[in-house]
Structure formats: C-alpha cells, structure tokens
C-alpha cells in the first residue's frame, strides 16, 4: 500500500507500518495545493490537523482511505470522500485521557487563578490575599456535555475530586456508557438547558457537527448561573464568541478554553481573538490531545488501522462506503463514532 503521511508521526510507527509491506512517504509540511499535488498514486493518506478539503480529495486518483490521527473529523470533507468511495477513519478515544487532564488543568486554574499567580510572581509581586480566594472544586456541580470517551474520562476524574457530575439523559445510551456513568454517580437531566441551570461548571466534549456548531449560544449562556464556568476542549466553533464575551462582561461567567474560532491551523502563528484575550478566560493553544502518551496511543492505533486496511478491513470508519468492515470497536468507541458522523 502506498501511504502519504502529511503530519508528524513517530518514526517507530512508520517502521511498524513499513514492516507490514507498505511504503510510507513522510511529508508533514504539505498543505492545500501542495498536498493535492502530492496525492496522485497515493492509496492511504494519514493526517492529524491538516485539512483535507473537497479539491484535495478531487486531486487524488487512487486514494481509498484517509486516516485522521485524532478523534474529530471536521477537518476532512467526509462528504467528498464518500462521493468518491473513499473511506475516512478516525482514532476515537485514544487521546481522551489527555483531553480530560487538560480539562482539569483549566478547571483548577480557574479555581486557583494559577496563570495570574504565576505572572504576578514572575513580575515580583506577592499577593497571598488575592490568590487565597478560591471556592474549591469539591462538591461542585459539573455538567458534562457529551459522554463519549473524553466526557466519561472527565466524569471519572470529577467523581474522584468529589464533584457531582450531571449529564443529559438519552434513550439511546448503551449499557457500557450507563454502567460507567453509574460508577461515577452521574445524575441525568432532561436537556442542555436544565444542565446549564443546575451546574456551576459546564464542560463540552462533543464533535463539531451541524447540531453542535454554536451550541454555546446566547440562549444557553442565559440559562447558566451567574459566575458559572464554561470549559471547552472540543472545538472552537461550538462557541458564539460575542455571546460568551457578553456573559463574562455582564454576569461574571468565566471560561477555560483550549479551542477557538479561527484558531491557526499550524503549530505557530499570530492569533487575534477578543475571546482569547478576555481577562475571564484562561486559554491554551489546542493542546488537549498533545501529550506524549496520547500521541503514541493515537499513532499505535493508526498502525492498527493501516494493518487492518491492508488485510481488507476498515476500523473506525466514519462514513458510509462500500468496503468490508471489521467492527472491533467497544461500545464507547461506537458511540463516539456515531456522534461524529
Ligand atoms: C482531536 O480531534 O483528536 C483533537 O482535537 C486533537 O486534534 P489535533 O490532532 O489537531 O491536536
């Protein structure tokens, strides 16, 4: 199989793929037109953050599989891929722990104002009086929006912190999700509006779809308690920036955000966002999945996906293409995959 890898992948993973008889070309710098120009002859394309749009897919002549080395597939035009019979597979769940850990980094930062405290110390200011003001996380009500692998990892950690976790009840939750939720003593509510009313903190763990775009809206924020916190480590497009800024200015809401509308695609660049600059926001640079552990776990699963493909099977396929599929996913993975379609 001829494979083009248009993002970084560990050398050990490339060796493992080539040991299976495939040839890999590592071109992490490819973007846009250059990516399209490199696609003729390629059968499998592996990407992480790199966008694979319709024109790029149209430039391919032998492409059969796009592997997204992460969970979200919003950077890939899956519709264009489906039209050409090209499978799109993601790697669900493997970076869930890393994202859950960053979720807690943001929550704990908001509670203890760690970023400001560090900045003051670096500027030679001692202010124990200011930084002694914190409510603590224990006993607080956390609403987890999305109970896939990441949401559940957040729920488990929140339970360990003594928080009360709430989530939205859904008739189609499978037994494994319900069992995990029960072990974290998750309380189910009717809908997102009720979740917002009940909780001190809302944390979002949903893929970007037409249903979730703009989910953190003026209407939803109006339901939140004064001083509530919004944590978003999923996709920036969930947020109505103006509405969140208004809620922070007028009702003391605060936010921990790892993702932003219009964030740069590459690793470095300039970024001008009124939301990211707002004093009530502690922001990070879309690094939720970027621990060494998570990147290795994702790369291992990419190797497994390509091995299965070489054997005629698809793992974690998110679009409807006429390929044989071996479905070895767990229920949680299947749930994540369904919701990312
Ligand atoms: C994901 O979709 O898995 C995460 O958002 C990670 O995205 P990244 O690979 O672009 O960091």
Rounded Cα gap, residues 179 and 193, in angstroms: 24
pLDDT band at 330 (very low <50, low <70, confident <90, very high): low
Residue 226: the pLDDT is: 98
Residue 152 has pLDDT above 60, yes or no: yes
SS3 89: strand
Helix axes 292-310, 96-112, angle to 10 degrees: 160
Residue 208: the pLDDT is: 96
Contacts of 61 (CB under 8 A, 6+ apart): 39, 40, 41
> Which residue has the least CA distance to atom 6 on ligand 1?
289
> Which residue has the least CA distance to atom 2 on ligand 1?
72
* Beta bridge partners of residue 257, listed in sequence order: 232, 283
| CA 166 – ligand 1 centroid, Å | 25
Residue 267: the pLDDT is: 85
> Which residue has the least CA distance to atom 11 on ligand 1?
289
Residue 242 has pLDDT above 70, yes or no: yes
| CA 72 – ligand 1 centroid, Å | 6
Residue 324 has pLDDT above 90, yes or no: no
Average pLDDT value for residue range 105-113:
98
Rounded Cα gap, residues 68 and 70, in angstroms: 6
Q: Which of 115-124, 161-170, 264-273 has the lowest mean pLDDT?
A: 264-273
| CA 261 – ligand 1 centroid, Å | 15
Contacts of 338 (CB under 8 A, 6+ apart): none
Atom nearest to 289 CA in ligand 1: 6
Rounded Cα gap, residues 216 and 261, in angstroms: 12
Atom nearest to 287 CA in ligand 1: 11
In the chain, alpha helices (H): 11-19, 32-38, 54-58, 78-83, 96-112, 114-122, 128-131, 149-160, 175-183, 192-198, 218-223, 241-251, 274-277, 292-310, 331-340
Atom nearest to 49 CA in ligand 1: 10
Averaged confidence pLDDT in the chain: 94
Average pLDDT value for residue range 74-94:
97
Ligand 1 interacting residues, C-beta cut-off 6 A: 48-49, 70-72, 95, 286, 288-290
Each residue of 280-303: pLDDT tens digit? 999 999 999 999 999 999 999 999
Kind of pairing between the strands at 201-204 and 44-47: unpaired
Average pLDDT value for residue range 249-278:
96
**Catalytic residue, candidates 166, 205, 235, 337:** 235
Each residue of 154-198: pLDDT tens digit? 999 999 999 999 999 999 999 999 999 999 999 999 999 999 999
Residue 306 has pLDDT above 70, yes or no: yes
SS3 107: helix
Q: Write down the pTM of the prediction.
A: 0.92
Catalytic residue status for 286: yes
Pocket test for ligand 1, best of 49, 146, 207 (most atoms within 8 A of CB): 49
> Which residue has the least CA distance to atom 10 on ligand 1?
49
Catalytic residue status for 138: no
Residue 329 has pLDDT above 90, yes or no: no
pLDDT band at 265 (very low <50, low <70, confident <90, very high): confident
| CA 134 – ligand 1 centroid, Å | 31
Residue 333 has pLDDT above 70, yes or no: no
**Catalytic residue, candidates 43, 237, 263, 333:** 263
pLDDT band at 266 (very low <50, low <70, confident <90, very high): confident
Each residue of 123-142: pLDDT tens digit? 999 999 999 999 999 999 99
Residue 334: the pLDDT is: 46
Residue 285: the pLDDT is: 98
Residue 326 has pLDDT above 70, yes or no: no
Residue 328 has pLDDT above 80, yes or no: no
| CA 234 – ligand 1 centroid, Å | 9
- Closest Cα partner for 200 from 218, 221, 227? 227
Each residue of 27-55: pLDDT tens digit? 999 999 999 999 999 999 999 999 999 99
| CA 130 – ligand 1 centroid, Å | 35
Kind of pairing between the strands at 201-204 and 187-189: unpaired
């Amino acid at each position: 199989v001829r494979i083009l890898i248009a993002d970084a992948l560990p050398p050990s993973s490339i060796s493992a793929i080539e040991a299976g008889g495939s040839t890999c070309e590592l071109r992490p710098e490819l973007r846009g037109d250059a990516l399209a120009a490199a696609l003729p002859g390629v059968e499998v394309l592996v990407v992480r953050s790199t966008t694979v749009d319709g024109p790029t897919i149209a430039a391919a002549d032998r492409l059969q599989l796009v592997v997204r080395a992460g969970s979200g597939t919003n950077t890939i035009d899956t519709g264009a891929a489906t039209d050409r019979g090209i499978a799109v597979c993601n790697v669900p769940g493997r970076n869930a722990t890393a994202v859950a850990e960053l979720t807690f980094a943001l929550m704990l930062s908001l509670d203890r104002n760690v970023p400001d405290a560090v900045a003051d110390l670096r500027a030679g200011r001692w202010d124990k009086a200011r930084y002694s003001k914190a409510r603590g996380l224990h006993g607080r009500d956390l609403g987890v929006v999305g109970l896939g692998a990441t949401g559940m990892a957040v729920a488990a950690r929140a339970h360990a912190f003594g928080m009360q976790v709430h989530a939205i009840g859904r008739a189609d939750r499978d037994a494994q999700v319900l069992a995990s939720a029960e072990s974290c003593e998750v309380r189910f509510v009717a809908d997102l509006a009720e979740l917002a009313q009940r909780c001190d903190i809302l944390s979002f763990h949903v893929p970007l779809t037409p249903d979730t775009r703009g989910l953190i809206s003026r209407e939803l924020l109006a339901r939140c308690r004064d001083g509530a916190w919004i944590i978003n480590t999923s996709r920036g497009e969930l947020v109505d920036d103006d509405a969140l800024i208004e809620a922070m200015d007028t009702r003391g809401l605060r936010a921990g955000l790892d993702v932003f509308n219009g964030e740069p695609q590459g690793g470095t660049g300039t970024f001008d966002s009124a939301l990211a600059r707002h004093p009530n926001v502690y922001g990070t640079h879309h690094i939720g999945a970027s621990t060494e552990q998570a990147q290795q776990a994702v790369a291992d699963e990419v190797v497994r996906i390509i091995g299965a493909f070489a054997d005629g099977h698809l793992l974690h396929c998110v679009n409807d293409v006429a390929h044989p599929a071996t479905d070895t996913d767990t229920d949680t993975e299947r749930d994540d995959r369904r919701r990312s379609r």
